[in-house]
Amino acid sequence: MSKFNKLSLRSVIAGITLSLLAPFSAAQSQDIPQLGGIWTNASRTGLTRPRGVESLVVPDEVAQQLVANMSIAGISVENIESGPAIDPETGAPPVGGQDFGLRGYNLFWTDPGSTLALVKGEFRTSLIIDPPNGQVPRLETPKIELARTNFGARYLTGVGDTSGPEAIPIAERCLIGFGNTAGPGMMGTLYNSTYQFVQTDDYFMISVEMAHDARIVPLFASAAEARANTRPEVHSPWFGDSRGWYEGDTLVVETVNINPLQMSQSSIPISAEGKFIERFSRYSDTEIVYQFTVDDDNLYSQPWTAEMSYHETEGPLYEYACHEGNYAMPGILAGARRQEAEEAAKQQ
């Protein structure tokens, strides 16, 4: 579902609430970076560096060539260039075929950006900057086994578990956005990669267009004070327990205790002992450099860091009304129950 012509009520209310809770001090505003505004992190750069590409930074002509050869959501360059992959005369591909999900995704809605990630004037081939090879340093044998759910086959074929709503991915259930868009470890997605940052003395709020997610980060005077105010482990909210502080002109946000269900479907998993450290630095009037570091020696051989930029955009931030007009889940479940009833009737 794409943009709607109305402002996100949730983001507006969140921004007003934060402003009322902590009126901004003009004196303090001179000492910390100003991050408020509407921003986008849309780009065609993936988390890891593509095979055969060695350099993190490439010149403009190489960046254009790489983008020209990229697929979108698994749709080949040839299909992208020829327009929608479904012929209205022949209809959708058969359910269960390996191209059902790929060809069934309407290219009209996609808006992943048209360039590689542009960070401080440089085109980047991967979001990962450390390790230098641009790859996730996974342990060959993890110290613990995380519960992981892979919905790739369901997306490709249209066939999957239909036993109940819990069998459907949390993003399709409109609980949170897909693609780690709200983080921690925030990354752009196929569309709606727009964010609103609201900054006060005591809170930093991140409102994400995909999918009306809001992270409200309390701010403290130091890392020690922030860590002393960690919530009890019994709390495991979406996006985790985030607390922030300033280190010079950089806002640092540390997140622990992320909801296990979110982690089971996240593209950047961590264990219960792991943490994310995010850094927001104002690079220019129109650019915020954003880094996140994943620190979890249960799953990774070293802490690793990704970097991208948020670029100022005119906005506005639209409401991603995920459930509005979305009949997929009730249709899937109703169809499955109908199929079960028909099969049971044949056996009588």
- The whole-number average pLDDT for the span 198-208 is 95
Q: Which of 13-17, 146-150, 293-297 has the least mean pLDDT?
A: 13-17
> In which band, very low, low, confident or very high, does the pLDDT at 80 lie, cut at 50, 70 and 90?
low
Q: What is the DSSP letter of 47?
A: S
Distance CA 246, CA 32 (A): 8
| pLDDT confidence of residue 153 | 77
Distance CA 214, CA 14 (A): 8
- The whole-number average pLDDT for the span 315-334 is 84
| pLDDT confidence of residue 71 | 82
| Bridging pattern class, strands 203-208 and 194-199 | antiparallel
Q: Name 308's bridge partners.
A: 290
Place of tokens 């809770």: 21
Handedness of CA 90, 94, 97, 100 (dihedral sign): positive
| pLDDT confidence of residue 2 | 41
With a cut of 80, say whether residue 106 has pLDDT above it. no
Residue 110's CB: how many other CB atoms inside 10 A? 15
Place of tokens 């205790």: 257
Residue 45 CB-density burial (10 A; 0-12 exposed, 13-18 middle, 19+ buried): buried
216 versus 235: which is more confidently predicted?
A: 216
Residues listed for the chain:
348
Quote the tokens at residue 53: 């590409």
Distance CA 19, CA 23 (A): 5
| pLDDT confidence of residue 5 | 38
| pLDDT confidence of residue 102 | 59
With a cut of 80, say whether residue 223 has pLDDT above it. yes
Residue 212's CB: how many other CB atoms inside 10 A? 23
With a cut of 50, say whether residue 323 has pLDDT above it. yes
Quote the tokens at residue 34: 């100003």
Q: Give the CA-trace dihedral at 180, 186, 192, 198, to 10 degrees.
A: 130
Quote the tokens at residue 258: 């992320």
DSSP conformation letters of 258-317: --HHHHHT-SS---TT-EEEEEEEEEETTEEEEEEEEE-TTTBSS-EEEEEEEEE----P
> In which band, very low, low, confident or very high, does the pLDDT at 202 lie, cut at 50, 70 and 90?
very high
Handedness of CA 255, 259, 263, 265 (dihedral sign): negative
Distance CA 197, CA 158 (A): 36
Provide, rounded to the nearest whole percent, the portion of the chain with pLDDT above 90: 60
- The whole-number average pLDDT for the span 38-54 is 96
| pLDDT confidence of residue 261 | 92
* CB distance 27 to 208 below 8 Å: no
Q: Which of 13-22, 215-224, 284-293 has the least mean pLDDT?
A: 13-22
